[in-house]
Structure 1
Amino acid sequence: MLARLIALLFFICYSFLISTAQSVQDPDLKSMIHKSAFSYSNGEYSGKGWDLLKAEIAKSQFVMIGEQHGEAEIPVFAGKVAQVFQPKALVIEIDPYTASQLKKVSVDPSKYAAYFRQKPYDFAFYSWETEMALARQMTSSNIDIWGLNEINFLSLPTFFETLAAETKKPGLKKLALKKAATISLHDLPLYKDIAKYSDFSAYSLKEVTVDSMIVAFKNENAASKKMLQDLKRSIPLFANSSYTQRVNLMKKNLLNYLHSDITADAINMPKLLFKFGANHLSRTDEMNTAFEVGNLADNLAGAAVKKTLHILVFGKKGTSNTMAPTDNTLAIQPYDIATDDELKSLLPFSDQVQGEEWALFDFRPIRKAVKAGTLKIEPRLLSFINGYDVLVVFGQVSGSRFIE
C-alpha cells in the first residue's frame, strides 16, 4: 500500500514537472503578444513603438507597407516612414503610365478638383485625398513613384491621350484622341452609380481592337508600340480572369525599373518603399497561394545581402472607403476589424489597442516559436505571422475621401 502511495505521489510530481516544463516551452499566443505603444499628435509620431520602428527601418534596404485599402491614416503613416527612410522611390499599386501622370498632377493641389471632375478614378487609390497628399510629398521630396500594376481600367482616356502625345503622325494622334473622348463620354456618368460599374468601357475592350491599333502604329516609335502591347496584356486582367498573370506582371514591372541596378558583377539595390494591399507584400505564398512582389523584393534584397522590413498596418474601428461609388457619402462606411474576414484573425493583437492609440507588435518571436514547434496557431493568422515582420495597429480609423 505504501509503495503504491509513493508511486502515485511520484507520478503526480512527475506530471506536475512535465506540465510546468511544457507551459514554459509551449507558450500560448497571448503570452507572446507584446505591445509597444506610440501616438500621433500635431502631425508627428512619438513613443516607444515609433522609436523601435524607426530603428528597424534604418537597418533595411526595402521597406514594405502592406495595408488595408481605404483607410486615410495609412498614407500619412507611409509618408512619415518615407521621411525616416528616404527611399529612391515609392513603389505602389498603379500602372507605370498612371504613375508618371500622378507625378505631374500631384504637384498642384489647386487643379485637383477640376481634374477629378473629369477623371474621378484616374489614379485608383491615389484618387483619395491623403493618398494624393502622399504622392505630392514624394514629388516635392524628389522621391520617384513607380507603378507595378496592369493598365488602370478606369484611366483609359488618359492612357489614350498619352498615346496621342507619344505618336508623331497626325492621323494616329486623331485616332488615339477619338478613342479617349469616346471612352470618357461613355464612362463618366457611370462613376456615381455602383450598379453600372460593369458597364465601364474596359470590360468590353477586345484584344482584336488593340491588335488593329498595333498594326496602325507599326511604324511608330518604340514607346507608342510598347503602350499598346501593355494595354493588350492588361485586357484579361480587367475582369480579374487570371490572378497569377497579374502577379507575374507586377514582378516583371519591378524588374523593369531595376534593370540598370542588376549587372553581371553587382546588384546595387536602391532603397525602396513599397505600399500595396497586404496580400501583395507577404514574403511567403501562404496568403494567396502565389509568390507575389513582396517575395520577389525579399529575394532581390537577399541576393544583394540587404535586409527587408515587412510592415502590416491597419486600423481597428471607425470608417473605411469601400472604393465605390465615387461619392463619399456612399463609399465611406462603418468599419470594425471584428467583422473583416480578411483581418479578424488578428483580433488578439488589435484587442490590445485602446482609443486613438497606435501600437507596434513584433511577429518575429512568434514566428520563431511556431517554427520551433512550441506554438500552434490557426492558418490564416500564421500566413500573416510568416509573411510580415511587424504589425502596426491604430485604434481609430477614418475612411479615405475621394478628391472632390
Structure 2
Amino acid sequence: MMRSMKRGSVLLAALMLAAPAIAADPARIDLPAVIAANSRPFAYDGGSALTGPGAVFLEGATAEAQFVLLGEDHYWRETPLFAAALYRMLHGRHGFRHLVVEQDRYAMEDVLAPERRGDAVEIGRYVGRYPGSFEFGSDQDIELLALAGRLDKGPMAICGVEQAVGVPRYLEELIRIAPKPAVRAELEALLALARKLDGEPTYSVNFLIAPGMTERLERLRAAYGARPGSRADEMLLGLVRSSEIFGYYRRAEAGEPVGLYNNTVRETWLKRLFLRCYHRMAAGGKLPRAMFKFGANHMFHGKNPTQAFPIGNLAHEFAIANGREGYGVMIVPLAAGKGYGDTPPELRVMLPAEPPTVPTVIDLRPLRPLQRQLRVGLKDLEAVAFREIVHGFDAIVLLPGEAPATMKLSGLKPIG
C-alpha cells in the first residue's frame, strides 16, 4: 500500500513538472488563415435570391434550425434586402412560414389585412398614415413585410412582438368599442394628447414617456373593465407595459437607478408576445419554423451585453427543447467607402484581415476553440464582449457598401 502511494506521488510530481514545458510551447495558429478559411462570399441580388459559396453554407447551416435569428444594426438599406433573400431561401428550402419582427403587433396585423397584404405600395401608404406604429418603416423593411405576406397566406405569416408604439392606432380602436361615455371621453382626451406630443410624422414615444402616464393608463384600464385576455384588455395592458418600459429609460436619464429594467422588463414582454404568436403558429400541430429580425442586442444566445436574457435566448433554448436548434446571425454593415471604420476591437478580431468587397459570411463555430488566441490584446471589457458575441451568435454576415435606408414608399423623412 505504502509503495503504491509513493509510486503515485512520484508520477504526479513528474506530470506537474512536465506541465509547464507543455504549456510553454503551444502550437502556433495562423489566425488570419483560419478566419479566411471560414469566410465565404455570396450575393443576394437585391433581395431576390442568395447565391454563391456563402449561400450554400447558410442553406446547410440552417437545415436543422427551427429558428434563424438575425441580429441587425437598424436603419440600413442592405440589411433588410439580405434578410429578404435569406427568408426566401428558408421558405423555399426549409419550409419556414413565419417572420418574427421587432415591430408593433397590431401594426403587423394591419400589414396582413387583405387590402394591403403583400403590396409594398399600400403598406407604405399605411406607414405614412400611422408612422408611430412602425418603428422600422423604411422602403426596404416594407418590402420584406410585403414578401412575407406573399410567401405565406396564413394569419401568422408575420408576428410583431414589440411593445406598443403606435398610440393613436390603439386609442382609435379602443374609442370605437368603449363600453361607457366616461371611458370614451378619457380615451379621446388621451388621443388628443398623443397627437400633440407625437405630432411629427415620424416614430415617437413622447406620449408614452410623459410623467405620470403609466399610472394614468393603469387607471384607464381599470375603468374600462375589459375581460382579462380580451382584445381590448390586451391593447390597454400593452399601452401600460410600453409606458412602463420606456419610462424606465426616462427615469434613468434623470438619475434614478432603474435603467436595467428598460432591458429586462422589455425582454420579458417580448417573450410573452412571441409565445402568444407561437401557440397560434403551432395550432395545426406542425412544428413552426420562423426567422427573427431584431436589433442584435435581442438575438444573443445567453445573456446579452445589457444584462438581460433576451428573446433570442428563449428561441435558442425553445428550439433545443423541441429537438431542433436556433441559428444566430449577426449582421455587420460596412458603410460604403469606410471599410471596417468604427468596428469595435472585440468584433474586429473575428473578421478577415481586409474588409471584403462582396457580402461575406463568417462561420463562428470553428473559431470558438481559438478564443484565447483571438482575444489576445483585448482589454478586459472588450474580451467580455468578444466572448458574448462568439458564443451568442453562430455566424457573422458582412455587408459592404451599406447606406442609410430610404423612405420613399411612406413619404416620411429618412432616419439617420
**TM-score, scaled to structure 2:** 0.75
Match of 2:12 in 1: none
SS at match of 2:199: helix
The letter of the residue matching 2:82 is F
Contact map agreement 1:94 1:124 (CA 8 A) in 2: yes
Match of 1:237 in 2: 245
SS at match of 1:91: strand
Identity of aligned residues (%): 21
Matched, 1:201 2:207: yes
Structure 2 vs 1, CA of residues 251 and 176 (structure 1 numbering), >3 Å: closer, same or farther?
same
Matched, 1:284 2:334: no
Match of 1:133 in 2: 143
The letter of the residue matching 2:172 is E
Whole-Å separation in 2 of the counterparts to 1:219 and 1:28: 64
Q: Structure 2 matches for 1:87-98, cutoff 5 A?
A: 87-98=96-107
Whole-Å separation in 1 of the counterparts to 2:201 and 2:147: 31
Whole-Å separation in 2 of the counterparts to 1:190 and 1:260: 33
Match of 1:247 in 2: 267
TM-superposed CA distance for 1:18, in Å, is: 6.5
Deviation per CA, 1:59-118: give whole Å up to 9, x if none: 211111111112111111111121121223111112322322333355444445654444
The letter of the residue matching 1:248 is T
Whole-Å separation in 1 of the counterparts to 2:181 and 2:295: 41
Matched, 1:150 2:163: yes
Structure 2 vs 1, CA of residues 235 and 270 (structure 1 numbering), >3 Å: closer, same or farther?
same
Match of 1:367 in 2: 368
SS at match of 2:396: strand
SS at match of 2:163: coil
Match of 1:295 in 2: 313
Match of 2:348 in 1: 346
Contact map agreement 1:287 1:384 (CA 8 A) in 2: no
TM-superposed CA distance for 1:317, in Å, is: 2.0
Structure 2 vs 1, CA of residues 191 and 299 (structure 1 numbering), >3 Å: closer, same or farther?
closer
TM-superposed CA distance for 1:219, in Å, is: 5.2
Q: Structure 2 matches for 1:55-94, cutoff 5 A?
A: 55-86=60-91, 87-94=96-103
Contact map agreement 1:106 1:132 (CA 8 A) in 2: no
TM-superposed CA distance for 1:368, in Å, is: 2.8
The letter of the residue matching 2:268 is N
Structure 2 vs 1, CA of residues 140 and 170 (structure 1 numbering), >3 Å: closer, same or farther?
farther
Whole-Å separation in 2 of the counterparts to 1:276 and 1:249: 14
Whole-Å separation in 1 of the counterparts to 2:398 and 2:68: 17
Deviation per CA, 1:215-273: give whole Å up to 9, x if none: 3311568221222122112212113342111111112222222346789xxx9641011
The letter of the residue matching 1:217 is Y
The letter of the residue matching 1:247 is E
Contact map agreement 2:298 2:304 (CA 8 A) in 1: no
Deviation per CA, 1:185-229: give whole Å up to 9, x if none: 44223749xxxx78x222216123213322331156822122212
Match of 1:226 in 2: 234
Whole-Å separation in 2 of the counterparts to 1:308 and 1:348: 21
Deviation per CA, 1:2-38: give whole Å up to 9, x if none: xxxxxxxxxxxx9xx97996234xx253232032112
Structure 2 vs 1, CA of residues 94 and 268 (structure 1 numbering), >3 Å: closer, same or farther?
same
Structure 2 vs 1, CA of residues 56 and 345 (structure 1 numbering), >3 Å: closer, same or farther?
closer
TM-superposed CA distance for 1:177, in Å, is: 4.8
Structure 2 vs 1, CA of residues 145 and 188 (structure 1 numbering), >3 Å: closer, same or farther?
same
Match of 2:220 in 1: 213
Structure 2 vs 1, CA of residues 109 and 316 (structure 1 numbering), >3 Å: closer, same or farther?
closer
Contact map agreement 2:111 2:123 (CA 8 A) in 1: no
SS at match of 2:348: helix
Q: Structure 2 matches for 1:98-137, cutoff 5 A?
A: 98-104=107-113, 105=116, 107-112=118-123, 114-125=125-136, 127-137=137-147
Whole-Å separation in 2 of the counterparts to 1:81 and 1:369: 29
Aligned residue-pair number: 357
Contact map agreement 1:187 1:201 (CA 8 A) in 2: yes
TM-superposed CA distance for 1:182, in Å, is: 3.9
TM-superposed CA distance for 1:138, in Å, is: 0.8
Structure 2 vs 1, CA of residues 316 and 132 (structure 1 numbering), >3 Å: closer, same or farther?
same
Match of 2:9 in 1: none
SS at match of 2:209: helix
SS at match of 1:44: coil
Structure 2 vs 1, CA of residues 103 and 165 (structure 1 numbering), >3 Å: closer, same or farther?
farther
The letter of the residue matching 1:146 is C
